[in-house]
Structure 1
Amino acid sequence: MTATVTPIRRSAAPSLDPMMTLVAADMNKVNSVILTRMQSDVPLIPELAGHLIAGGGKRMRPMLTLACAKLLDYQGTRHHKLAAIVEFIHTATLLHDDVVDGSGLRRGRRTANMIWGNSASVLVGDFLFSRSFELMVEDGSLRVLKILSHASAVIAEGEVNQLTAQRRIDTNEDRYLDIIAAKTAVLFAAACRIAAVVAEREPAIEEALDNFGRYLGIAFQLVDDAIDYESNDATMGKDAGDDFRDGKVTLPIILAYARAGEDDRTFLREAIEGLRNDDDDLARATAILKSTGALVDTAARARHYGRRAIDALASFPNGQAKTALIEAVEFAVARAY
């Protein structure tokens, strides 16, 4: 059976509501696991972890695990702990990322490192990683352990790769795609793939769900990188231009630098090197990205990967779960508008 590929951009704004409705009962059980397993006799741990976990995130990654399990008509309960693992891994990486980036705002709230300090944020992130591995062992599947532990290692590699590419205007598109595939897309892919493992489906189904999650993750990050230049704490939960000020060479910068005139190229080089990063500089950088078509083309690239994600679901039967997953892709891409 072939999927009907609906337009990535609809007249009515897509949302995560269909997926949230689909997995609401399961998500309550996942939240129970999360709340139980982030507890500790050391009060700072649940206090700090709870600040981020309760910070208004949509929990898209664990919802993908649950929705993919629905897609496969899985009737068990193992996916509840696995979805909690995915959220713990994601939360741990956010705690570490905010320390590395020196971020002050996350989802419209002060970051944990700004409240409790860098050391506490790193150590609580380590605690959540440890909890996630405890849960993996409890599940008892070496296949699940391999997928999620590999994803954790690749995420760390991606973050280090991004760190070493920081403030390097010569970073090319291939390296950029390697970075976002590792630091973002690999957890989306693992979140979807483990649903096929617990449902005991064949390798081809695992691969299809892995592809769906991977392409969705790439699209998601491309949109994040585009709207960084026009976002605010109301639309994205962080200040516009965080990537610009941090000297991160994302696809909009790569495209604009390749297309701009010499004066603008000099400005972008100086900006990425940290020499030009005030509000006026951000405004000029944004104008360059717009005039060169870099933001529009980054959004178009996100739509391309979004379509590839939807295509990966082509062999699955139509129904509520498939429809919800397709709209989740459309939601991820529509944030660019």
Structure 2
Amino acid sequence: MQLCLSRPTIRCKSMNMSAQTNTAAANPSPYDAIAAHFQNDMMEVNRLIIDHMDSSVPLVKQVATYLIAAGGKRIRPLLTIAFSDLAGSVNDNAYKLGAAVEFIHTATLLHDDVVDESAQRRGKASANQNFGNKTPILVGDFLFSRSFQLMVGTNNIEALRILSDAAAIIAEGEVLQLSVHGKLDIERDTHLKVLEGKTAALFAAACESGALVGDAGNETQQAARNFGLHMGLCFQIIDDLIDYNETKESSGKNQGDDFFEGKITLPVFIAYENGSDEEKTFWENVFRKETRDAEDFDKAYTLIQKHDALNKTYEIAKEYHASAQKQLSSFANSATNKMLQALLDFTLNRHF
């Protein structure tokens, strides 16, 4: 896949939503296909989510509902359900773990937005913009507690271990990200460790826990975990690539958002590693600044083009895609297996 390397337009007009909707209806995405296949199961997961958001403190439910009702694809609980089915059968424990996974994800979003001082989440003002910093942090803690209640409800200590380990990795990843913020001279493995905590750890736990309660053996349970881990890394790397390669019309996000927010992602690391001393000085200076402007972005994009950083980033994502793909051979060649393969391919080549 040769990536578009045309000179960027920094901000784009809003897309024609009716045209997009008609296209999507005619050509459902692999995500839409697997979501439709497990629609009834996901209704059970959503019922548990709604029930466990309830609180005697109205503000707790208000903040939790504010983010959860804002949308999101529920991809993580969907993976839990899919791997439960792939391993044997979907059951009540799979529903509980799917809801637990979504609560962990939502809690981390609430915490992340406070740490990152984010102004938006899912197309509207972030919870910290509406409720201040203290309340979202505490509601995030509440959702973590609810997730553990759901885990305990499975009476499966191994499921509790899998998801509690993931929660620890996520927290460690956030602290690691803070400790290396603005640093360009770190090892690439360190950056990938941040991505593991940011996205891949919960993908891995979602898949593994689903396989566990679906009655997978040890080898297939590990295969499910590896699938989620590598799919999660592929997902996040492509997300980093989209920030430089796509416009809002094709991806739903403004081009250069990560750059303007001072986030150093894989395309930047690659351009920096291959750059001259003068170019490295530019990168160091631009990420040392409090704010970056359109001229900075044009220069950054030119250097990313020069060192073919987008295609090199895509090649790394392809390696994780291939690693995830291999794991599916451990499971029967069922309809679910084929849908997961299509979803994995979509993750690599997505344009949200």
Tell me the TM-score normalized by structure 2.
Answer: 0.88
Q: How many residues align?
A: 328
Task: Confirm whether residue 262 of structure 1 aligns to residue 277 of structure 2.
Answer: yes
Deviates more, 1:24-33 or 1:300-309: 300-309
CA deviation after TM superposition for structure 1 residue 51, in Å: 1.6
Which of 295, 301, 306 lines up with 2:310 in the alignment?
295
Which of 328, 332, 335 lines up with 1:313 in the alignment?
328
CA deviation after TM superposition for structure 1 residue 288, in Å: 1.7
Of all paired residues, the percent bearing the same amino acid is 42
Task: Confirm whether residue 175 of structure 1 aligns to residue 190 of structure 2.
Answer: yes
SS in structure 2 of the partner of residue 228 of structure 1: helix
Aligned-partner Cα distance in 2 for 1:106–1:275: 22
Deviates more, 1:84-93 or 1:304-313: 304-313
What does residue range 114-129 of structure 1 map to in structure 2 within 5 Å? 114-129=129-144
Letter in 2 for 1:262: D
Q: Which residue is 2:214 aligned to?
A: 199
Deviates more, 1:261-270 or 1:30-39: 261-270
Instruction: Give deviations 1:50-93, integer Å, cap 9, x for gaps.
Output: 12112221111110001111112314221001100000000000
Aligned-partner Cα distance in 2 for 1:296–1:113: 36
Higher relative contact order (CA 8 A, sep 6+): 1
In 1, are the aligned partners of 2:45 and 2:95 still within 8 Å (CA)? yes
Aligned-partner Cα distance in 1 for 2:29–2:90: 28
Q: Which residue is 2:10 aligned to?
A: none
Letter in 1 for 2:54: Q
In 1, are the aligned partners of 2:89 and 2:215 still within 8 Å (CA)? no
Aligned-partner Cα distance in 2 for 1:110–1:177: 29
In 2, are the aligned partners of 1:39 and 1:46 still within 8 Å (CA)? yes
Q: Which residue is 2:30 aligned to?
A: 15
Alpha carbons of structure 1 residues 54 and 169: separation in structure 2 relative to 1, 3 Å: same
CA deviation after TM superposition for structure 1 residue 14, in Å: 5.0
Aligned-partner Cα distance in 2 for 1:248–1:47: 30
Aligned-partner Cα distance in 1 for 2:126–2:242: 20
Q: Which residue is 2:174 aligned to?
A: 159
SS in structure 2 of the partner of residue 314 of structure 1: helix
CA deviation after TM superposition for structure 1 residue 201, in Å: 2.1
Task: Confirm whether residue 330 of structure 1 aligns to residue 345 of structure 2.
Answer: yes
In 1, are the aligned partners of 2:120 and 2:126 still within 8 Å (CA)? yes
Task: Confirm whether residue 89 of structure 1 aligns to residue 114 of structure 2.
Answer: no
Aligned-partner Cα distance in 2 for 1:22–1:71: 13
SS in structure 2 of the partner of residue 305 of structure 1: helix
CA deviation after TM superposition for structure 1 residue 95, in Å: 0.7
CA deviation after TM superposition for structure 1 residue 15, in Å: 2.9
CA deviation after TM superposition for structure 1 residue 236, in Å: 5.0
SS in structure 1 of the partner of residue 84 of structure 2: helix
In 1, are the aligned partners of 2:271 and 2:304 still within 8 Å (CA)? yes
Task: Confirm whether residue 137 of structure 1 aligns to residue 157 of structure 2.
Answer: no
CA deviation after TM superposition for structure 1 residue 177, in Å: 1.1
In 2, are the aligned partners of 1:290 and 1:296 still within 8 Å (CA)? no
In 2, are the aligned partners of 1:219 and 1:303 still within 8 Å (CA)? yes
SS in structure 2 of the partner of residue 139 of structure 1: coil
Query: Structure 1: any 5+ residue segments left out of the alignment?
Result: 1-6
CA deviation after TM superposition for structure 1 residue 287, in Å: 2.5
Letter in 1 for 2:115: V
CA RMSD of aligned residues (A): 2.1
Aligned-partner Cα distance in 2 for 1:268–1:275: 13
Deviates more, 1:52-61 or 1:270-279: 270-279
Instruction: Give deviations 1:237-289, integer Å, cap 9, x for gaps.
Output: 55443432343332111100012233322211111222561222123212221
Aligned-partner Cα distance in 1 for 2:255–2:168: 30
CA deviation after TM superposition for structure 1 residue 221, in Å: 0.7
In 2, are the aligned partners of 1:136 and 1:145 still within 8 Å (CA)? yes
In 2, are the aligned partners of 1:108 and 1:237 still within 8 Å (CA)? no
Tell me the TM-score normalized by structure 1.
Answer: 0.91
Q: Which residue is 2:227 aligned to?
A: 212
Instruction: Give deviations 1:186-223, integer Å, cap 9, x for gaps.
Output: 11000000122212321101100000000000001101
What does residue range 68-107 of structure 1 map to in structure 2 within 5 Å? 68-107=83-122
Letter in 1 for 2:347: A
